[in-house]
Structure 1
Amino acid sequence: MKEKILIVEDEFIVANDLKIMLLKAGYQIVGIASSVVQARKLIEDKKPDWVLLDIMLKGDLTGIDLAWELREIQLPFLYISANTNQSTLEAVKATHPYGFMVKPFRERDLIVMLDIAKYRYDQERGTLAEKSVDNEDQEIEGIIGNSELLKDVIEKIKIVAPAETSVLILGESGTGKERAAHSIHELSAHKSNAIVIVNCAALPHSLIESELFGHEKGAFTGANSLRIGKFEQADNGTIFLDEIGELPLDSQVKLLRVLQEKEIQRLGGNKTIKINVRIVAATNRSLEKEVAEGRFRLDLYYRLNVFPIQLPTLKERKEDIEALANYFLKKYATSSRKNVNSISSTALEQLKGYEWPGNIRELEHLIERNVLLAKTNEIEKFDLPTNTSNPLESNNGKMLSMEEMEKEHIMNALKICDGKVSGSGGAAELLKIQPQTLFSKMKKLGIKQGYN
């Protein structure tokens, strides 16, 4: 038998449905409590392993009050609630639950959330090594390196890939978020179907819903034919929503509906279309900060943040630089048909001593460029930016103005991105601003678009 679970829920029908689902999945239910007082007694008498906790309960105390008590006695818990009021959810977050599920939900989502919560709990207690993963020895193509930080990422990918739950990939620009999304898809049950890539930052606001959900013929001026949206294209597969933090609030509401109901409605249509899509989202922003500033819905954040995977920066895993450099060397020497097969020890030391603000993407571009420029079969040295001067001072020692600093910062970003402004790998992505904003700043500061 699996773990013993206490259900703390004041609605009998909901509590009974939970009990049936959990018993079916092999869990033991030690009781149902409708108040904090009842829950305390059952915890003392029955010694559950986990507590499923609603927020609004009978009596003067809430589930949040009980959560603080559970933390004191180190009893793991998860919230299951329909309450998505922002102030309440901020209080929920402060208790550090192992999961949060918004009602209504599907049986499968509940079981997956419990599995993931147990993984997090075991990871905290250091007992994860005792558990086995079915695809433990399986290689992940395109993820290169042996650092401990990377091994942790790979382990998380292997654990979450076979599940159906949503995944949120976090990391700076250039850390390999899209590669991680492909790996999750390739190790999942959906691998024989499509993975559809959507860069939310590149979608014009007026066309976001048409792109994501499609439109019927005549839905708006210019809609001369039926359009199948990205979610329908990804049916029975995976959709990767890159830069999810760029979605406007009205589109976030519709995405939340897709996550909850697994259905869409095309623009101009009145038919509901059921879909089976695995959602993997990514961002280089702090979604918690976006939520606090009112730009991202907290209920959507909790829906996506069931299983977060944080990708390390390249400067945090410098022991992987040599393996990555050799991987890119082989890749671009083959594609360009050049006989370049090694990197000198001096050049490798240069790579290891650099800070890599553009992360793996910057390294890849550097190797590609140097393979093309190489005159022998070895790359002897790299022309890397130097950061020895005080960034606040110009050559004559005078402090730079705000405008001069902004111009220099943008030009450095453009140099890292080989002059590319928008799209994946562009300076706008690196600077975490909209491409239109960057173009406007470049025009104001007199920076030419082709700057390199």
Structure 2
Amino acid sequence: MKKRILIVEDEFVEANNLEMILHRAGYYVCDIAGYVTKALEIIEREKPDLVLLDIFLKGKLTGIDLAKVLKEKNIAFVYLSANSNKDILAEAKKTEPYGFLVKPFREKDVLVTIDIANYLHEQKLKLKFRSEHVAKDAFVQHRDFEGIIGKSQALNTVFNHIKLVAPTDTSVLILGESGTGKERLVDSLHAQSLRKSRPLIKVNCAALPASLIESELFGHEKGAFTGAYDRRIGKFEQADTGTIFLDEVGELPLDLQVKLLRVLQEKEIERVGGKNTIKVDIRIVAATNRNLETEVANGKFRMDLFYRLNVFPIAVPPLRTRKDDIPVLVAHFISHYAPKLGKDIERISDEAMKTLMNYNWPGNIRELEHLIERSILLSPGKIITSVLLPIFEDVPPVKEITSVGIKTMEQNEVEHIVHVLKICKGKIAGPGGAAELLNLPYSTLVSRMKKLGIKKENVLR
């Protein structure tokens, strides 16, 4: 059955243009309204599936006022706007639209946005149905989240979201700073899914060289390129019937984002050098510490892929917002590392704990874990009486520069990594290593060094 679309737009030319685009694509435009009161009458009569809604309309009521009604009626809507005022857009975003279309409209953008809106609305209805049937006594069962330490309200909210979405095949996007434990949440999500007995394949997109990432994800045929002596099965095929976790998905090059979108839409892949499509039955979970909306605005991440991944976002809170969990985390790390390090450590002193509670934790749980491990090694007795928090030197004032002295982002990144390596005397991994100070996974730092041509032996000269 054709989707029924209502256009709410008070400019005749724009409305007529949209109507022609939709007719060519096979949609049914049930009517056009130029102001909110008329739109409400049409909605009652026609029951549209989707509303394309201008923010500024004739009359006293705006598109934002109508959006609140549509939300109550559970009707999907997409905003139409030529206005880029941040305050107005922020107000519009509060109504949780399924997208924005900026005037003047391009046919491709209109059709992609409508396709995404329909998809998101269907997924939302499925999740709404499930949430209404989740037993209240199943609010949080900590045994379902083995290996994730903490009982704060912020963490409980994350647990509830995972319990809700885990049994579905909905794509999940896990958002959070480095070191917050996003990978542990993926393990729990997969363990509570209907695919728990099937593979869970993990890929760190930031750690893969650009020249190899396509082959790594999609596989390749023998002879596809120089050095391809055998057929290779890629990560997507390995994850067939299971789950694939794409960590740091924001690092994917734009050409591979197109191919990932195809996997999400069509559930099929092609190996590099292959001629046949291969069907895959996978659930995609992605994670990033980047603001993907900003990346979309800057043209670095595809809008259609963002909305396909962002069906069910889960924001992992940073440690500084869940400090209630620090004591239990410290106790866990002591019980874990003390026996491994051959130390008889019983607890941490109140004064040392106070120091931890007053720290802002830019490196989150990973930083706390490394700090406790180091403190265990340095402690002479059974009680950790002091902790050595990182000391950050004051940044000198920025000098006025001319265009001649401006450095590229890549040059600045090279200088920063080299500076940290010199401080760590070339140590990359482990406590006190460059990866810890830079708050990066070891594999990510090594990958960045390779891409930037940084060699440890040259740094130490």
**Is the CA contact 2:418–2:459 (under 8 Å) kept in the aligned structure 1?**
no
2:76–2:117 contact (8 Å) kept in structure 1: no
Aligned to 1:33: 30
User: What is the aligned partner in structure 2 of residue 318 from structure 1?
Assistant: 323
Aligned pairs for 1:229-244 (under 5 A) are 229-244=234-249
Partner of 1:196: 201
Structure 2 counterpart of 1:215, one-letter code: H
Task: For residue 372 of structure 1, report the CA deviation from its aligned partner.
Answer: 3.3
The question of 1:248 aligning with 2:256 is answered no
Establish whether residue 392 from structure 1 lines up as the match of residue 396 from structure 2: yes
Equivalent-residue separation in structure 1 for 2:129 and 2:89 (angstroms): 19
Residue 312 of structure 1 aligns to a residue in which SS? coil
When structure 1 is superposed on structure 2, of 272-281 and 37-46 the one drifting more is 37-46
Secondary structure of the equivalent of 2:194? coil
Q: In the alignment, is residue 112 of structure 1 matched against residue 115 of structure 2?
A: no
TM-score, normalization: structure 2?
0.72
CA displacement, residues 180-231 of structure 1 (integer Å, 9 cap, x when unaligned) = 1112111111111121110101111111110001011111111111111001
TM-score (norm 1): 0.73
CA shift digits 1:148-173 (9 cap, x unpaired): 22222111111111111111111111
The corresponding residue for 1:8 is 5
1:33 maps to amino acid: C
The aligned amino acid for 2:125 is L
Contact 1:8–1:53 (CA under 8 A) maintained in structure 2:
yes
Task: State yes or no: 1:136 paired with 2:147.
Answer: no
Residue 348 of structure 1: aligned partner: 353
Q: 422, 432, 455: which is aligned to 1:418?
A: 432
Name the SS for the 1:333 alignment partner: helix
The count of corresponding residues between Structure 1 and Structure 2 is 399
- Please, which runs of 5 or more residues in structure 1 have no aligned partner? 1-5, 17-31, 120-127
Taking the aligned partners of 1:293 and 1:13, their CA distance within structure 2 comes to: 29
Code of the residue aligned with 2:269 in structure 1: it is: I
Matched with 1:28 is: none
Which residue is equivalent to 2:67? 71
Matching residue within 50, 58, 61 for 1:53: 50
1:84-103 residue CA offsets vs partner (Å, 9 max, x unmatched): xx999x99998433546967
Taking a change above 3 Å as real, the CA distance of residues 111 and 406 of structure 1, as seen in their structure-2 partners, is: closer
The change in CA–CA distance for 1:428 and 1:176 in structure 2 (over 3 A counts) is same
- Give the % identical residues: 44
Counterparts of residues 272-421 of structure 1 (less than 5 Å): 272-386=277-391, 390-392=394-396, 410=420, 418-421=432-435
Write the letter of the residue equivalent to 2:233.
Answer: I
- Give the Cα–Cα distance (whole angstroms) in 2 for the partners of residues 222 and 427 of structure 1: 27
Which residue does 2:13 correspond to in 1? none
Q: Among 145, 169, 174, which residue is 2:174 paired with? A: 169
Aligned-partner SS, 1:231: helix
Contact 1:170 1:309 in 2 (8 A): yes
CA contact (8 A) 1:102 1:303 kept: no
Q: Which amino acid aligns with 1:268?
A: G
Aligned-partner SS, 1:75: helix
Q: Distance in 1 between matches of 2:117 and 2:76?
A: 15
**Partner Cα separation in structure 2 for residue 40 and residue 12 of structure 1:** 26
Describe the SS at the equivalent of 2:322. Answer: helix
Note if contact 2:167-2:193 (Cα within 8 Å) is conserved in structure 1. yes
Partner of residue 123, structure 1:
none
What's the offset of the Cα at 1:104? 6.0
How far residue 71 of structure 1 moved from its aligned partner, in angstroms, is 2.0
CA distance in 2, matches of 1:284, 1:232: 26
Q: 1:295 to 1:108 in 2, by over 3 A?
A: closer
| Per-residue Cα deviation, 1:22-55 (whole angstroms, up to 9, x for no partner) | xxxxxxxxxx935447863243458x7xx64164
CA contact (8 A) 1:80 1:103 kept: no
> 1:125 matched to which residue of 2?
none
Q: Distance in 1 between matches of 2:192 and 2:253?
A: 31
Q: 1:360 to 1:230 in 2, by over 3 A?
A: same
Distance 1:253 1:369 in 2: 44
Distance 1:33 1:341, change over 3 A: farther
Per the alignment, do residues 155 and 344 of structure 1 end up closer, same or farther by CA in structure 2, a change over 3 Å counting?
A: same
Amino acid across the alignment from 2:50:
L
**What are the Cα deviations for residues 390-435 of structure 1, in whole angstroms up to 9, with x where unaligned?**
43379xxx99x998x95898468979963244999447969xx944
Q: CA deviation at 1:307?
A: 1.1
* Offset from partner CA, 1:336-394 (integer Å, 9 cap, x none): 4543231111221111111211111011111122233433332221111245x743379
Residues 74-153 of structure 1 aligned to structure 2 (within 5 Å): 75-76=71-72, 79=76, 95-96=92-93, 97=96, 99=98, 111-116=122-127, 132=135, 135-139=138-142, 140-153=145-158
CA distance in 2 between partners of 1:408 and 1:250 (Å): 30
**Segment drifting more, 68-77 vs 311-320:** 68-77
Query: Which residue identity lines up with residue 53 of structure 1 in the other structure?
Result: L
Given that 1:104 and 1:260 are in contact with CA atoms closer than 8 Å, whether structure 2 keeps it comes out as no
Describe the SS at the equivalent of 1:206. coil
> CA contact under 8 A between 1:99 and 1:306: conserved in structure 2?
no
Query: Post-superposition shift, 1:245?
Result: 0.8
